Structure 1
Amino acid sequence: MRKFAGVVLRTAAAVLWALLSTSFSTGIAVAQENGPLKGVALVIGQSAYEKLPALPNPERDAREIEDLLARLGFETELATNENGRKLARSIEAFIEDAGGADVALVYYSGHGIEAGGTNYLLPIDADEASLAAADSRLISLQAVLEQLRNKARITILLLDACRSNPYPREALVRRDGHSAGMPIAAAGLGAPRGAVIVESAQSLPDNIGEVIGFAAEPGQVALDGTEGASSPYAAALLKHLGANQGYDFAQMMTLVTEEVYLTTGTRQRPWVNASLRRFLSFGGKPLELTSDDALLVGERRKLLLSIAATPQDMRASVEGLARDMSLPLDPLYGMLRELQVDTTKGPGEIDAQLRSGAEALKKLLAEKVVSLRKDPELNRLAGLADRAQAEGAIALAKDYRAKASARADELDTTLDRREAEVMADRTEIASTYAEEAATAILAFDYLLASQKYEKAFEQLTGRDDRHAFLYRIEQIAALSQYGEFAGDNQALERAISVYEALGAGPKVEYSAPWALLQVDLSVSLTALGDRRGDAAMLAKAVKGLETALAILSRRNLANEWAVAQVNLGNALQSLSKLDGDRNLLVRSVAAYETALPELQKDSSRRHWSAAQNNLGNALKRLADRDGDTAPLIRAISAYETALSVRKRESMPFDWAETQYNLGIAMTLLGERKSDISHLRQAETAFEAVLAEWPRDRYPLLWASAQNSLAAALLSRDRLEASDDTVLKAISAYEAALTVTTRGTAPSQWAMLQNNLGQALATLGYRKHDANLLLRAIAAYNAALTERTRERSPLQWANTQTDLGSALRALGELQGDAVPLRLAIISTRAALNELERRRVPLDWAEAQNDLGLALWTLGQQQDSMIASMLAVVAFEAALSEWTYEHAPDEWAMAQNNLGMALQTLGARFGGTVLLAESVEAYEASLTVRTRDRAPLKWAATQADIGMAKLLLGYRSRNKSVVESGRKAVQTAWELHRAAGEKQYDDIFADRIKTFDTVLAALRKSAD
């Protein structure tokens, strides 16, 4: 046995407890024992199996592990290729030696099996006959563990034996000749039955604890590694077990776990069961490293510890990204670390940036070429940067790139003296700057990247126009990304101005890169245009994308062509919000549908699911504009298709986005079908979205979800007429306005003010509350400070319509003609902008509101002209609000037409108008049924009753009057049953009127 210095055992004032399956938890050491403690190690490597499959690596792995442990201060014993008797003797001797040791460590590499909860290590002469007496022919891991536990204060078992079962599948294990047969696990070892758990560790008074480490999780297969190389587990132990400078043993095992996880591409992850009550680190010294190697190793270890702290949902997101884009995990986790966000909040917040960084990494790896640098220092620094980048040490790679650029600055000063070599050197310097820029993008430092690409461009301007052009493109792309992710509008504007400096059009040989840049710039223009409500900017984005699509080849650049189509659909859809042109929406739908067949071939399917989501948005807007339910059904189908990829577990942000859009579609469908179940589905969707888009992380998105939740609540209120529902909607709008300000998001702020006005007006009209109506009018006027006719004519017109409705309600409540005349002026102004051919449903709504204002004014002023104009307006509304496409609106307009006809018939004589009034009322009841909208049904019944009272009296028809009395009585009874008693006096007076008229008709008949 080789003898070396001992093992340092650091004690702690507080007891350290841990029971972990993948990593250790550590505390703070506050005291330390002086002097080294004795550590012994048995290292076993079994390769040359006689009757089982041979293993190429264990013998060599064992020799390397033994050498490392010896350098770390252990007295070591090496056992390789031993049969059953010899291996048993080696273990017995080691257990005896462990009696005087503080730390006993066993490393085993070779075949191992698990049966009936017992793990066995296999000597090289093991065969099928050995299974009949496993306790005597094989080595029981539990027996070794129990004996060592009573000998040493700390027991460490490191087992690289988690390979697949070497025996036939049907083979059984018997502990002895009398035991029942037990099947062998198909793969790996099982969790040891004898492992000490945290609660029982105190029962061993002199025992500080134990560590059991498997190369793979219980029941999982460990990889053996390629022949001639260490197994992944052994390689990780060799790399990190000697990290005694600044890391305790628990942290070292965490490093090993995550190293194997990375190097095997998630296929293998070691398992650790530990119960330590002291900090343990080794006292020996590993091999000396150069300063650069030490930096690389140190950064690698920091990365591994950060991975260990990454939540499982974030791991799943990173792993999915690596798998979808065929990228190594190491630099992706390095980029995640560079984002410096709290990963415990979930992956949604950083998904877009990480995905963008991954695309930059893929591009960098694809374009990487071997550089023939003449300057040795540049060569050295670039090589170190490449190594750091591959290890995921992005910050260190960025530092080396900066040093290389600094060296490039030094070389730059000598170029004038070397004119013959200037071109090669300038190219090399430009490449150095560009490499720093590419690495900066991996660290999400887009601003630095744009600066370095600009320096690269300047090096080649006038010398190599083609590469200079490409560097310029990269500079603009980096500026655009910075503007998008940092919310910096000035950066986006500068990117556009730099692009325009390139010229009016692309040069032929640069057409594809130029076209791709057009796509990126147009995405930024769309985002900025949306942010500012700038139609000209959105139109510019559309034109840029159309130009790019004329250049990109669907055959050779199918995916890029399809992505450009999706972005064209996005820009057209954004422009349609401001322009109101139906054709823009139709073109948007066509763009998405054209792109989807190509995107379906994309292995990541992220773009495909985004296209499905955006297709749903366009169809939803088309359905909203036309009042057609068919596009709405297609939109819901598109959202559900997108959700087959956008899972909450792996893509939480994207999932929430599609859920949000689905909720809006369900709201529209519920309105169209007067179906409360659809509206409640929408509310449930928005509440789930609010949980995924919390206010502190996504304030504007949270506000949008609050707005949409309120809209669904108001739609439900139209069917249920519940004050509580409207109050909840008002509360949601007001909450959204606490984070959506006019300064930060003027367009969204104006929308919220408008919607708040609608909710306040609804409740104010219902409760006859002038203060609520005045608040609604104030909210509409606030919205109009941003929704100007010049900037957004369609939105201006809709708000004018809503303002007119609130003024009409106020005039009706106060008996004041002034608000009524203002309402008529406001609504007619809106109709000048709401063209029937462009926005038929909005036009119909404005006509209906105009009719109500005219009817109310006719009531107050006893004006036949105003009442007749009201009838004309209601009939106009009904020409677009059809029973098939907008049943609720159709029913409302029919009811309003009935009121206007009743007014004309009552005040200006004739039974024809009264009969038409009754007909209009009864038509509305085909939609406003007692089951679906009981209070509206009752209100219409009361109106029918009064119309029949007049009709029956005029025509001297007692049965018509009696039918009217029955309708009013039924409405009264329903109001009482619903607890609506505020109209009792009105109903009572109406019944008295009926009785008086009936008495008069009977007397007349007599």
Structure 2
Amino acid sequence: MQSFEFVLSRRGMLSASLAGLAPSVLAQASSGGAAVPRVALVVGNGSYPQAPLRNAVSDAQSVARVLAEQGFAVTTLADARRAELEAAIARTGESLRGRNGVGLLYFAGHGLQLDWRNYILPVDARIEKADDVPTQCIDVQQVLAAFKAASTRMNIVVLDACRDNPFAERASGRGLAQMDAPAGTFLAYATAPGNVAEDGTATSGNGPYALHLVQELKRPDARIEDVFKRVRFAVRRLTQGRQVPWESTSLDEDFSFGRGIVEPVSATAPGRDEAFASELAAWQSVLASGTAADIYGYLARYPNGLFAELARLRLDQLERPAVRPLPAPGGAAAIDIAARRYEMGDVIEWEFHDRVRGTTQRMAFRVTSLDGERVIFNRGSWILTQSSATVKNASGVKSPPVIQVVSDMAVGRRWRSAFTNTFQGVSYRNFYDSRVVALEDLATPMGTLRCFRVEHRGESTYPDGRVLLLARTDWVDAQRARVMRSDHEYRWSHPQTGAPTAMQSSGSSRVLREDPLPPRPR
């Protein structure tokens, strides 16, 4: 095993030396640009006797170099044994203790799952039976526990460890198991849970995931979610959908690899409107071209853009990914966002409760026509898309359609959206930030359903300058990708302070009946 520590010299040149993880060196490396210490443990294991990996060590070295260039104090292990891994994890935790810093683990090599726990394999692991896994491998939870014990401010765990391996038959399944990121953690896999990643060719020098991760890490100001979304789309394109990276996040703060933890920037109304116009023009141009290549280009430019989820939906319609994440126990299977959900004659009966007026009414909506992806209820009073995006409802016509359900729904999933709503000849823009906050049981008249609880927060800006603050919570059926309940509260914003003032609308709605009831997987 080799251990390298990378730091930047005063001249900005990268240097490497055989060393342990010295706190004094870490302090020196983190005292430059970033106020928050950033410490990374980067491991590349390739010399497995039974199944060597040609690119794992070079993947780790490439990632280590670019992290050091971005200001991380980095320790790199190559072909590490279990004892060496345990010692390095402990030293990394100690170096972060009490410093309110950012801890990062990148591991390239073999990994496996057992009883829904994920393990990374040292090169000296000899797995003959399932009982050998906990005693000879490193539980990923051990790394997270070391970071937690150090009271880190943020944790980043990147597992390029889903490569096919000869130990899978001793494990609980292929690849790694899906897990929700603990508080303050960003978790990334090289491919979707339950699937395997490619190691790359001898000529490439890197696996597909590391190749694109290194490219994106070189953007010093890129937000962490933008970095990994760009990597995901690039790897998906390179592998023709055979490998689709996956992430889970519980971060409440923003982070860039070059600057560390950064304060979120709130766009002014003129700046936001300008961004809306430019992004919409780009999206409409891509939509008109109808090619997957143009959609990939759009997503590389706007990975977390206002219309990125519409772009992902269109991409799934053009190129169905060959892999989908396998759910964790008690979790939900991946939603096929591009599937057809509605047919002629389907009926959905809703109950609407107006808290302001104290009234309740019921209304049945029948699919009266289908127009391509558009699903038209009651001859046009309500229009959805097959992916459950809203085109028209009682409050107006939405352009573009409003995304309510996204692909790869999981706790922590976030997205942005924007649209122009037109009602009685008046048009105004709406902006939403959305996040999946829970997967829970929802009692309905049709029985108990497993649903994602999604919180939407945003605002509407009217032509006369008034601003309406929007708060809505949806419960989305995790199996059929339909909204089953929705609660909302809309308040006017104070023109000077921006604080919520008078109530404009408050209420709830829920599905009472579906006829015919779509089949539910058992």
The structure carrying a bigger helix percent of its residues is: 1
TM-score, normalised by the number of residues in structure 1: 0.26
Indicate the structure (1 or 2) with the bigger Cα radius of gyration.
Answer: 1
| Structure ranking higher on relative contact order (CA contacts 8 Å, 6+ apart) | 2
TM-score, normalised by the number of residues in structure 2: 0.48
